[in-house]
Structure 1
């Protein structure tokens, strides 16, 4: 059982992922004695509510965080400058921004694929994979464990929520502007490469010289690590779509031997975290929002090829649940 008196800091508490983490902490009755809500200077001095009390938002300070029991990191860019102080302190750090996931010395958390090493000592830094990587890894894991994976290709369709509150706000504003104007003129975009309203943008992250994006490279790296398959061929194109929440991926896996839909279904049903849909059900971003598992559907098998679609709530299953789950494991 977790300690009843934990001092917990949330980096990025005003963001989309941070807000979801606070909600899950409350839902799971995580024992927070003191909450330190941190965000950028723009939010300093504002207040948020947690369990009926107002909490003032502050900018993160290394010496303050170092004496916390837990630091839950959900704000890209905030953690790196704080790492020296955190390494000197006693706080356990759980990061879902991608800042730590490439470090082979830092354990990942995605049960049942990755759980924390049996203690003691418990790790002080833990990386939680985020977004669509969670769903793809869980869906591919049974085939990887059976030694069947040879190549993975596909397309991800990821909502504006993956770019945080700013992304959702920009999509909402631009959608209203287009509806009011009803013209082909584009709104200026600050969050996405161009306006996302009524459009799809095949670029998430910055473009690299070889034509891939930084986030496509990151997704490949984290999937290889999650699946313990460092040489697995993975080619995934990441696309931003004009929805407010939930994400989807159409995945094609080349396997070492033929696997029919029935065998695939048996493997998925035995995999925790997977919700296998019926033939008349569709995995959709919107439909994923009310569920805490990865929906798998549209399954097609031919020879050594398997095609399927996964959908998940990218903020909840793909972020907050993992962070709080890791926090529970660290404090048992």
Structure 2
């Protein structure tokens, strides 16, 4: 089997660390590995598969002789993606920088793999909540065609990075010890106000746009249209940050063009790669973040017909947003390219 030179930009962050774990776990065929990060993180040593790697400061020249560049996300993508492409690498990017660029494929490998071959050097990884949602929507859309989606998300703090995890930890300890809980990170570190997440819910992820929605909500709308290649679907989203460490949950109500029973929906979902149906109310079986964290699949339960509209269904969908919602999805894109001989070496 051919082996590929791989660079990971953002190697010290949560997604970067997940890339490393998955590369080892999935026996990804790498030859040389470069770990890149900002100047602040450069010089750190990461032991991976028995070998010490020194994290290098990312520069334009970091991508020489790299075949696959896995970008963990962030502002660095806009800076370094063009440089990586210039050196001949294929960039698989977790940031939002290129997702809505008409020249950049936005890919969930189980949903729209055919679009990968249209890339011009950059392939975008969708928003974590969008990936999780489209995994559940695609098999139903194929069977009965979706007209409208109403989605509410319950998103774990790890979606906001390591600092948000630490803040939840610190706040819980403070409250248990009867001390004030300090808030400096959520809803977003860049905002002028911050709120406690411990024992609370925050109805804001990212900043608000002009119509009262947040950027996170509009990502789910716009990206879903692009991934499903159907701009006629009505979509509205409300995204909520919850005091859970890992694994996003979504309550999804869909209206279909034709009738689809709950049983037929279960069958379609169960047959779809990467989806596990957990749906047995009699046994109190349904997906929860507690049990879906560190799992590769997207879990679907509480599948039931919505009697308030014609051809309506309700779903409860849960998935690990660092795995399938980020690192795993990106690595699957690279694996698809390797398996279908779409990478030149």
Structure 2: distance between partners of 1:30 and 1:320: 13
Q: What number of residue pairs does the alignment pair up?
A: 327
Q: Could you tell me which residue of structure 2 aligns to residue 244 of structure 1? A: 245
* Separation in structure 2 between the aligned mates of residue 173 and residue 186 of structure 1, nearest angstrom: 7
- Equivalence for 1:181: 178
CA RMSD of aligned residues (A): 1.9
Other structure's SS at 1:43 match: coil
Match of 2:191 in 1: none
Distance 1:233 1:117, change over 3 A: closer
2:231 match: secondary structure: coil
TM-score (norm 1): 0.92
SS of structure 2 residue aligned to 1:224: helix
**Counterpart of 2:62?**
64
Distance of aligned partners of 1:102 and 1:62 in 2 relative to their CA distance in 1, 3 Å threshold? same
SS across alignment from 1:318? helix
1:101–1:127 CA contact under 8 A, matched in 2: yes
Q: Which structure 2 residues correspond to residues 1-332 of structure 1 after superposition, within 5 A?
A: 1=1, 3-4=2-3, 6-116=4-114, 123-181=120-178, 185-192=180-187, 193-279=194-280, 280=283, 281-301=285-305, 302=307, 303-332=310-339
Shift of 1:274: 1.3
Post-superposition offset of 1:45: 1.1
For 1:188 and 1:118, locate their aligned partners in 2 and report how far apart those are by CA, in whole Å. Answer: 41
Which has the larger displacement, 265-274 or 234-243?
Answer: 265-274
Structure 2 SS opposite 1:202: coil
Give the Cα separation in 1 of the matches to 2:73 and 2:270: 34
Deviation (angstroms), 1:130: 3.6
**1:259-308 residue CA offsets vs partner (Å, 9 max, x unmatched):** 22112112212222211113131111121125321111011103421111
Structure 1 residue 143: Cα displacement: 2.6
Per-residue deviation, residues 156-191 of structure 1 (Å, max 9, x unmatched): 001011011121112112221222125xx4413234
Show structure 1 runs of 5+ residues with no match. none
CA distance in 2, matches of 1:169, 1:116: 40
C-alpha separation in 2, matches of 1:118 and 1:17: 22
Q: Runs of 5+ in structure 2 lacking a partner? A: 188-193, 340-345
- Please tell me whether the aligned partners of residues 37 and 55 of structure 1 are also in contact (alpha carbons under 8 angstroms): yes
Q: Quick check: 2:10–2:72 contact (8 Å CA) kept in 1?
A: yes
Contact 1:282–1:297, Cα closer than 8 Å, also in 2: yes
Query: 2:190 maps to which residue?
Result: none
Tell me if the contact between 1:66 and 1:88 (Cα under 8 Å) persists in the aligned partners: no
Name which of structure 1's ranges 6-15 and 26-35 shifts more when overlaid on structure 2: 26-35
Stretch moving more, 23-32 or 83-92: 83-92
- CA distance in structure 2 between the aligned counterparts of 1:12 and 1:126, rounded to whole angstroms: 17
